[in-house]
Structure 1
């Protein structure tokens, strides 16, 4: 594959991934026009929509950058406003296995299946980031102090997380409404459902007998009798 072909393939794939991600509730691109975005550098906000999460309600501005070798090489991810978390470096860079180069790493103990592969995509990275927020890897932390706090002083850690959420809300655009749930509203229930089914029983015949059916049966039996008499006479 030529270098030009590789560039075209990366950009085409990223355009498709970007289009799909715009439909998700948990990510917000402030620029809704694909023509105006640098396809190799995305800026957006990740939103935590999980009532069980200590980061619930957070609006975390972030950035992903892609190389010309994507998807054969992983993207890079960082939070634009760093916060206290065992796996977030002071500059906002994230320490997570899925962003590490393909192949097994004996030194770190990471298996190839835990690291980046061309079968991964931007969405799988972002979903992994959201999972990592609530389930940090404290054995190989990027922030040792945060790791110790999470392990030994969980209440203090949770208080910092809630403060981070409140601070992040200042970055929510004025015209944007934060989603509160992944679920869409159920369709309205008809108040006259019982009346509907009662009317259906009267209007539709599902095989029950009536006067017309009895009359048809009598005519059919008379015709059979006449045919038997004709047969006897012959």
Structure 2
């Protein structure tokens, strides 16, 4: 069940947050997550806070979610409408048109955690071989100073969205991700209990209510 899988991943990331990200559910909808990306220290994104949205399909994890920046984000791998273009979010299987191999694209073993970590890596190391934003790709290669100026303006504009309780990391060490030594998934009873809670806390698609009325 996609909803249960997503709720498990959400609870895991809430308990063991990835440095550089804040997540929440939009309108208690487990299929739509709101994500705040904290600009990594010692990069051109330092000091920024970029709001974005992840939308998951009903057949997750068999197909990938979409990831969209809510405000203009000038980057070679982000379309002008804010949609992120990254191999890990492309549908499963080989793609002869783009040359991408199946191992580069989405597969059901991927998680929200792996998506977020891939985004951190992509920020300062864009793929300019087939850019989603051609202008950004050309400028990144040929006029890095101008490119950095545009990013600086976007970082400045993004600061208005920084939550009042958020303390931005000041060093790379504070931003570094460390895999938790123990995961709640190791406890066989953990997910059982949470799935029961999920049925009480979330109305994923309205089907349960309709079934009750029919009964």
TM tier, shorter chain?
0.7 to 0.9
CA distance in 2, matches of 1:88, 1:57: 20
1:21 touches 1:27 (CA, 8 Å); kept in 2? no
The partner residue of 1:15 within 7, 10, 14 is 7
| 2:99 alignment counterpart | 109
- Matching of residue 159 in structure 1 with residue 149 in structure 2: yes
Alignment of 1:67-216 (within 5 A): 67-181=57-171, 183=173
CA distance in 2, matches of 1:99, 1:66: 11
CA distance in 2, matches of 1:160, 1:141: 17
- Matching of residue 37 in structure 1 with residue 28 in structure 2: yes
2:26 touches 2:32 (CA, 8 Å); kept in 1? no
**More displaced stretch, 63-72 vs 130-139:** 130-139
2:87 touches 2:105 (CA, 8 Å); kept in 1? yes
Q: Indicate how the Cα distance of structure 1 residues 152 and 183 shifts in structure 2: closer, same or farther if over 3 A, else same.
A: closer
More strand by share: 2
Question: Alignment length, in residue pairs?
Answer: 172
CA distance in 1, matches of 2:163, 2:139: 32
- Structure 2 regions of 5+ residues with no counterpart? 175-215
Q: Indicate how the Cα distance of structure 1 residues 83 and 20 shifts in structure 2: closer, same or farther if over 3 A, else same.
A: same
Equivalent position SS for 2:29: coil
Shift of 1:159: 1.5
- Matching of residue 24 in structure 1 with residue 18 in structure 2: yes
**Larger C-alpha radius of gyration, 1 or 2?**
1
Normalised to the residue count of structure 1, the TM-score between the two structures is 0.69
| 1:59 alignment counterpart | 49
Higher relative contact order (CA 8 A, sep 6+): 2
Equivalent position SS for 2:30: coil
1:25 touches 1:182 (CA, 8 Å); kept in 2? no
Shift of 1:47: 1.1
CA distance in 2, matches of 1:62, 1:16: 21
- Please provide the CA RMSD for this pair: 1.8
